[in-house]
A and B are shown apart, each in its own frame.
Chain A
Amino acid sequence: AQTVTQSQPEMSVQEAETVTLSCTYDTSENNYYLFWYKQPPSRQMILVIRQEAYKQQNATENRFSVNFQKAAKSFSLKISDSQLGDTAMYFCAFMRTNNNDMRFGAGTRLTVKP
């Protein structure tokens, strides 16, 4: 079974600074998908970014980017120019190809300080 590990239960960052959230996973699959989801205090889950394992290029969405290291099974999220609205729980998730069953990490609670 695939497992997803987020080793940082809580993190904080000053507004406008950059922060990196860590995620590692364990799988014997070669093709799969990785995701970062944001859950603000409203508890609505929001997709932040998606990475396909067969693509070497790191995914980027505006201020959010990932560092995908397939050999190391690492998938970290970098948030640049942090904003107060980035305060939320962030979940890393893994999905096998042709199987929409997704596995989530335990989450990292990020606080952006003014």
Chain B
Amino acid sequence: DGGITQSPKYLFRKEGQNVTLSCEQNLNHDAMYWYRQDPGQGLRLIYYSQIVNDFQKGDIAEGYSVSREKKESFPLTVTSAQKNPTAFYLCDSSRQGNYGYTFGSGTRLTVV
């Protein structure tokens, strides 16, 4: 079955450490996105990529980095520069035509 896989589901990180969240899709979608979800704030865009080897900053890109070396993969690295990284992270993708997003099941990141 086609879909988006985010791993791991839960992730714990010590302060000062970088951590990478995985996102893989087999839907043949060109565009992929990373959103952060905090209570009461909805979803905020971190980074997005419309095509392989190209990506754009979203509204809250500071402290995050991404890569898009393959169409299927769009990993997100939360760096030590991110001051408040504890949140729920959603990866999603879309095909051409404004049909909306297909979402992964999310990764809950907790800094300990």
**Which A residues fall within an 8 A CB radius of B?**
4, 6, 9, 33, 35, 42-47, 50, 52, 91, 93, 95, 97-98, 100-107
Query: Which listed residue (A91, A97, A106) contacts B98, Cβ 8 A?
Result: A97
* B27 within 8 A of partner (CB): no
Sample (6) of A-B pairs whose CB atoms are under 8 Å apart: A35-B100, A45-B90, A46-B103, A47-B101, A95-B98, A105-B42
Beta-carbon nearest neighbor of B35 in chain A: A104
- Whether A45 pairs with B98 at a CB distance below 8 angstroms is no
Q: In the docked arrangement, what's the CA distance between A45 and B105, Å?
A: 8
A47-B100 in contact given A100-B31, A106-B40, A106-B41 (Cβ < 8 Å): yes
Interface residues on B, range: 20 to 34
Query: Which listed residue (A47, A97, A107) contacts B42, Cβ 8 A?
Result: A107
* B45 within 8 A of partner (CB): yes
A91-B42 in contact given A43-B106, A44-B103, A45-B92 (Cβ < 8 Å): yes
A101-B48 in contact given A45-B92, A95-B98, A106-B40 (Cβ < 8 Å): yes
Chain A residues, Cβ within 8 Å of B92: 45
Q: In the docked arrangement, what's the CA distance between A42 and B31, Å?
A: 24
Q: In the docked arrangement, what's the CA distance between A35 and B92, Å?
A: 15
Q: In the docked arrangement, what's the CA distance between A36 and B40, Å?
A: 17
Q: In the docked arrangement, what's the CA distance between A103 and B44, Å?
A: 8
Contact with A along B33-63 (1 / 0, CB 8 A): 1010000111111001010000000100000
Shortest Cβ gap from A11 to chain B (Å): 15
Chain B residues, Cβ within 8 Å of A35: 100
